[in-house]
Amino acid sequence: MKCIGRRGIGGTTLADVAREAGLSQGIVNLHFQSKENLFIETLKSLAEDYRAQFEGALQRGDGSPAGRLMSLMELDLSHSVCQPAKLAVWFAFWGEVKSRPTYRKICDEVDRYYDEVILQLCAEIIDSGYYPQITAMNVATVLASMTNGLWLSCLISPQEWSRHAALDAVHCYLSTVFPQHFRRSGAT
Amino acid sequence: MKCIGRRGIGGTTLADVAREAGLSQGIVNLHFQSKENLFIETLKSLAEDYRAQFEGALQRGDGSPAGRLMSLMELDLSHSVCQPAKLAVWFAFWGEVKSRPTYRKICDEVDRYYDEVILQLCAEIIDSGYYPQITAMNVATVLASMTNGLWLSCLISPQEWSRHAALDAVHCYLSTVFPQHFRRSGAT
Amino acid sequence: MKCIGRRGIGGTTLADVAREAGLSQGIVNLHFQSKENLFIETLKSLAEDYRAQFEGALQRGDGSPAGRLMSLMELDLSHSVCQPAKLAVWFAFWGEVKSRPTYRKICDEVDRYYDEVILQLCAEIIDSGYYPQITAMNVATVLASMTNGLWLSCLISPQEWSRHAALDAVHCYLSTVFPQHFRRSGAT
Amino acid sequence: MKCIGRRGIGGTTLADVAREAGLSQGIVNLHFQSKENLFIETLKSLAEDYRAQFEGALQRGDGSPAGRLMSLMELDLSHSVCQPAKLAVWFAFWGEVKSRPTYRKICDEVDRYYDEVILQLCAEIIDSGYYPQITAMNVATVLASMTNGLWLSCLISPQEWSRHAALDAVHCYLSTVFPQHFRRSGAT
DNA sequence: AATGAATGAGGGTTCATTCAT
DNA sequence: CATGAATGAACCCTCATTCAT
């Protein structure tokens, strides 16, 4: 991941990886069979890492759907997830998704699970309140796409981009659509 | 762009490009000096193309800030912008942004202009209504990041992804934050 | 010649030559048929130029063999012949002589003529004096090789190399072997 | 060196070198990093080889300055140094000296050391005799340039050129300028 | 007579992969 | 298990040469 973050996927050579790991070049192929497979395992590990944090965030909080939803949003905009070095790796893989079906499959799986959980939480929130004009699908779509989009800003203009402003925007949005569940924070 | 869409940036060779263009390999370097420069020109052209459509969308509509804002959102979710083949190229470049400062500069410029216009439109909408609890910044952040995020979904799960559902989500969001300017549509 | 002097023979491209001449690339081949032929014509021209100066030097002076010989030596160490830019071209061709028989033939012709004239002059000098222990061949060999060798010094260490010191060495040599014909100059 | 001798510097390809060495093409760059560096190492090796022979020649002989000087001259006109194949490599590099500062530096170093030693030997000879009209500088200049020039003859007209005639000329010259140290040989 | 866009072979170089040790 | 020298295919790029204009 360090290498991909530094030089991109196309610019990463097995020699780089071996050097970074302090190992010989041969051992990389011995363990991963091929460069392609190394990348796939990297992506899998990246996905698994994210999923673990995701599960952790779900456990945290007061247990209410709104709390868990907020917890997930905070994760997506946390320092851990938003580091440009890590995001660069995600975008590197997304950039190859079109031409590598295997990458797409893994990314798709993460996305699907993410969407599913968000959708479920939104549904629970709507069920436990009175929101006649809102569908869970609409809110879930907005939330899921927002975080992805915010990451792009983080990647492209890292210095100017403020995680707090983003979190503020998310909270503002939630308090607008779900006023009964999310308290209005003072606008910054 | 065809080649990048098919094979990614790393997988695109000058031989591919030349074959696709029905020309000899030498002529590519004669006109573009280097592969790197060819990619930069490609990105510039992509950015210019988007900008042209962007300006076009700004002119369309009834001229009101709300109309223009909606027009931009419709553009971002239009068939023209959302074709996976085109998005693949954008993501291919975003995937390299971290390791190629030149790519970042071009992408950043597009983003900056986009954000600026959206922010201005939101500010005008807020000025022409009564929205004491909303800041233009918050709404602009949500909108800008949403479209980027929706493109990722379009890229990763193209078959399932519905542009209309996304547009619906955007409209739902706008009618929630700006009820005086955006009529509530029937939920899908 | 300018191009060869700057970049060497291997580094000279037809595009360089055309640019230097302020002409199009096509016209070079139209006139010279091929790059190889252009180089051959260049070498021929270089040889002819030298030969013209050589003949000129032979006419100059008082007409005596000793005077003509000295005149030739002065030519070889003159500013016109010793300019590094020109010498570089000669050495560039000599560097290719082994692998290009045509180059060798031209260089050989120049050399042969040079040796022949020098030898003849030395013979005349010996005949018109009393030098029982000297053969014309020996002196001619020394003189001919000296000038070639002095050029190499001029090429390799141009800044430190003094044409006057070289000329001094030549004169010193001649006054030693042919004391009746060359006056001893004050040693520098 | 074999390849350079056969095809010149510009005509030598890495494929040639690899084939000559019985190795793959990749390994050449693995060891030498670049073609340019391969040539530099070649020139260095050539220079070192010559220097080793030079030192060897200095040790040989009776130890007197005159003996050592003659020994060096004999080296320069020896079969080992004068083989056209080797000279071709030297001239190939000299032909590029103008456009390759690195080549010049290496050649210059060899030359400088050579000149210095010859000059010193001449000075010692003059000191140990009575030569009021000769300067060490003059003789050193003649000797140093002669050998270089004789090499050119050897390269250009190898078949006709006789090392013995050249050595004879050198000896004749030395016996003329330093009659007390060099015995007059019978003229050929 | 002259142009310069276009060709395509061949160059140097990189790098995933193999394999003797 | 591990190494790293070696391979060779494929890359980008250069450039002599051609040819329609």
- Closest by Cα among B126, D20, B4 to A98: B4
**In three state form, how does the secondary structure of C134-151 look?**
CCHHHHHHHHHHHHHHHH
- What is the C-alpha to C-alpha distance for residues A66 and A166, in angstroms, rounded to an integer? 18
- The pLDDT value given to residue D114: 96
- The pLDDT value given to residue A117: 96
In this complex, the answer to whether residue A10 has its CB under 7 A from any atom of chain F, a nucleic strand, is no
The DSSP letter of residue C184 is P
User: Which chains pack against A, by 3+ Cβ pairs within 8 A?
Assistant: B
- The pLDDT value given to residue D30: 92
- What is the C-alpha to C-alpha distance for residues A138 and A178, in angstroms, rounded to an integer? 12
pLDDT over 70 at B170, yes or no: yes
Query: A169 and B118 in contact (C-beta within 8 Å)?
Result: no
The string over A166-182, giving b where at least 16 C-beta atoms fall within 10 Å of a residue's C-beta and e elsewhere, is bbbbbbbbbbbbbeebb
Q: Is D23 helix (H, G, I), strand (E, B) or coil?
A: coil
Q: Do D134 and C184 touch (CB under 8 A)?
A: no
In whole angstroms, E5 C1' to C17 CA is 19
CA C34 to chain centre: 27
Q: Report residue C113 as tokens.
A: 């003529």
The string over B73-88, giving b where at least 16 C-beta atoms fall within 10 Å of a residue's C-beta and e elsewhere, is bbbbbeeebbebebbb
- The pLDDT value given to residue B44: 96
- What is the C-alpha to C-alpha distance for residues C1 and B166, in angstroms, rounded to an integer? 69
- The pLDDT value given to residue D186: 47
In this complex, the answer to whether residue C26 has its CB under 7 A from any atom of chain F, a nucleic strand, is yes
- The pLDDT value given to residue A185: 67
Q: Report residue D48 as tokens.
A: 């070192």
Q: Is A186 helix (H, G, I), strand (E, B) or coil?
A: coil
Query: A153 and A76 in contact (C-beta within 8 Å)?
Result: no
B78-135 residue pLDDT tens: 999 999 889 999 999 999 999 999 999 999 999 999 999 999 999 999 999 999 888 9
pLDDT over 60 at A21, yes or no: yes
CA D42 to chain centre: 15
- Closest by Cα among B61, B180, B76, B188 to B130: B180
pLDDT over 90 at A180, yes or no: yes
Percent with pLDDT over 90 in chain D = 79
Q: Report residue D71 as tokens.
A: 């020994």
- Closest by Cα among C95, B25, C103 to D43: C95
Query: D52 and D58 in contact (C-beta within 8 Å)?
Result: no
- What is the C-alpha to C-alpha distance for residues B13 and B6, in angstroms, rounded to an integer? 12
Q: Is B102 helix (H, G, I), strand (E, B) or coil?
A: helix
CA D157 to chain centre: 18
- The pLDDT value given to residue A165: 84
In whole angstroms, E16 C1' to A115 CA is 38
Question: What is the distance in angstroms between the CA of the first residue and the CA of the last residue of chain A?
Answer: 36
pLDDT over 80 at A77, yes or no: yes
Which residues lie near nucleic chain E, judged by CB under 7 A? Answer: A 11-15, 25-26, 28-30, 34-36; B 23-27, 30-31; C 23-27, 30; D 12-15, 25-26, 28-30, 33-36
The lowest-confidence range among A68-72, D34-38, D166-170 is D166-170
Q: How confident is the model at residue B66 (pLDDT cuts 50, 70, 90)?
A: very high
Q: Taking the model in full, what pTM does it have?
A: 0.88
Gyration radius of chain B's alpha carbons: 19
pLDDT over 70 at A187, yes or no: no
Flag whether A touches D (3+ CB pairs, 8 A cutoff). no
Q: Is B144 helix (H, G, I), strand (E, B) or coil?
A: helix
* Cα atoms in the 13 Å half-sphere on the side-chain side of A97: 33
- What is the C-alpha to C-alpha distance for residues C78 and C72, in angstroms, rounded to an integer? 10
User: Which chains pack against C, by 3+ Cβ pairs within 8 A?
Assistant: D
* The dihedral sign for the CA sequence D165, D167, D171, D174: positive
Query: D170 and D152 in contact (C-beta within 8 Å)?
Result: no
Nearest residue, CB atoms, B148 vs list A10, A112, A148: A148
- The pLDDT value given to residue C188: 34
Q: Report residue B100 as tokens.
A: 């190629």
Helix, strand, coil percent content, chain B, rounded in steps of 5? 75, 0, 25
Mean pLDDT of chain B: 91
Q: How confident is the model at residue D185 (pLDDT cuts 50, 70, 90)?
A: low
pLDDT over 80 at B161, yes or no: no
Our CA-based measurement puts residue B38 at a distance from the nearest CA of chain A, in whole angstroms, of: 16
Arithmetic mean of pLDDT, D50-54: 97
Q: Which CATH number fits domain B35-177: 1.10.357.10, 3.30.70.141, 3.40.50.2300, 1.10.10.10?
A: 1.10.357.10
The residues, ordered by sequence, that sit 6+ positions from C47 with a Cβ below 8 Å of its Cβ are C106, C107, C109, C110
pLDDT over 50 at D96, yes or no: yes
Q: How confident is the model at residue B187 (pLDDT cuts 50, 70, 90)?
A: very low
How confident is the prediction along chain C (188 residues), in pLDDT tens digits per residue?
Answer: 999 999 999 999 999 999 999 999 999 999 999 999 999 999 999 999 999 999 999 998 788 999 999 999 999 999 999 988 899 999 999 999 999 999 999 999 999 999 999 999 999 999 999 998 889 999 999 999 999 999 998 888 877 777 888 898 899 889 989 999 998 764 33
Q: Report residue B107 as tokens.
A: 């992408």
A36-68 residue pLDDT tens: 999 999 999 999 999 999 999 999 878 899 999
Arithmetic mean of pLDDT, A86-103: 94
> CA angle, C142 as apex, D159 and D144 as ends, to 5°?
100
Domain covering D39-177 in this structure, CATH number: 1.10.357.10
Token pair 């030297």: residue:
D90
pLDDT over 60 at D187, yes or no: no
- The pLDDT value given to residue B185: 66
- What is the C-alpha to C-alpha distance for residues D57 and B172, in angstroms, rounded to an integer? 96
Domain covering A36-177 in this structure, CATH number: 1.10.357.10
Query: D149 and C147 in contact (C-beta within 8 Å)?
Result: yes
Query: B178 and B125 in contact (C-beta within 8 Å)?
Result: yes
- The pLDDT value given to residue B183: 86
Say how many C-beta atoms besides its own lie within 10 A of residue C128's C-beta: 13
- Report the amino acid identity of residue D17: V
